[in-house]
Amino acid sequence: MISITHFLIVSACIFCCGLYAVLAKRNAIMILIGIELMINAAILNFVAFGRYDKSNYGGQIFALFAIVLAAAAVAVGLAIILAVYRHYKTINPDNITDLRD
């Protein structure tokens, strides 16, 4: 029997993978993928918790919105990465330290 706990564990695993990618990868695109993974983990939680909201299917609907927003965010993120590449001739976040004082 698959309980909600299993969903939550899978979701946590995906989130951790995404977090690792965001923190450790040396490529901005991979970071973007990590962000997608973390959003997907969240969406998975929405869907899993949506089972207990039988009347409105609120979880399912939030998941759909989130997917759309994620797609939009990825488009913006890719555009930013492209702009960053044009400016710095690199997309390695280690080499981009302009936020430093």
Partner 1 sequence: MGELLHISPILASILVMLLPLFAFIIQASLGEKATSGNISLIAILISFILSATIVLPGIWNKPPQYNTYDWFTIGTKTFTIGILLNNLTVLMQLVVCLIAVPVHIYSRAYMKGDPGIARYWTFLSLFCFAMLGLTISKNLLMLYIFWELVGFASYLLIGFWYTRDAATAANKKAFIINRVGDIGFLIGIACLYSLFGTLDIIEILGEGGLFSQGIVDQQSSLMTLAGLGFFLGAMAKSAQFPLHIWLPDAMEGPTSVSSLIHAATMVAAGVFLLSTLFPLFNDTVLLFIAIIGTITALMAAYFALEQHDIKKVLAYSTISQLGYMMVAIGIGAWDAAMFHLTTHAFFKCLLFLGAGAVIHEMNTIKKHDCQTIDPQDLRNMGGLRKYMPKTFILMSIASFALAGFPLTSGFLSKDAIIISSFEWAIHQGGLYHIIPIVLVVVSILTAFYIGRLIFKTFFGELRINTTANSLLHEAPKTMLWPMFFLGIGCLFFCFSPSPISYHLAPILDGFSVTYSFSEVHSLHIIIPVTLTLTALISWWIAYRWYVLDQHPVHSYNLDIEQNSNRKVAVFDFIPYHLANSLIIFSRWNYHFDKYIIDGSVNAIVKFTLRTSQIASWIDTYIVDAIVIGISNLSKRIANFSAWFDKYIIDGLVNTIAQTTYYFGHLLRWVQNGRLQNYLGFALTMVLIGIIYLILR
Number of Cβ within 10 Å of residue 11's Cβ equals 20
Closest CA to 60 of 84, 74, 43: 43
| Contact assessment for residue 18 and residue 37, using Cβ atoms and an 8 Å cutoff | yes
CB of 37 within 8 A of CB of 67? no
**Which residue of 2, 5, 76, 98 would you call a contact of partner 1, by CB under 8 A?**
98
CB-count exposure of residue 28 (10 Å: 0-12, 13-18, 19+):
buried
| Residue list 20-79, contact with partner 1 (CB under 8 A) | 22-24, 31
Which tokens is 72 given? 């939009």
Q: Smallest gap, in angstroms, from Cβ of residue 83 to partner 1? A: 15
Kindly tell me which residue out of 17, 19, 66, 81 binds partner 1, with binding defined by CB under 8 A.
19
Work out whether 81 is an interface residue with partner 1 (CB under 8 A).
no
Binding segment (CB under 8 A) for partner 1, from list 17-25, 38-46, 65-73, 78-86: 17-25
Q: Please choose, out of 40-48, 60-68, 82-90, 91-99, the segment that lies near partner 1 by the rule CB under 8 A.
A: 91-99
Contacts with partner 1, residue ranges (CB under 8 A): 19, 22-24, 31, 93-94, 96-101
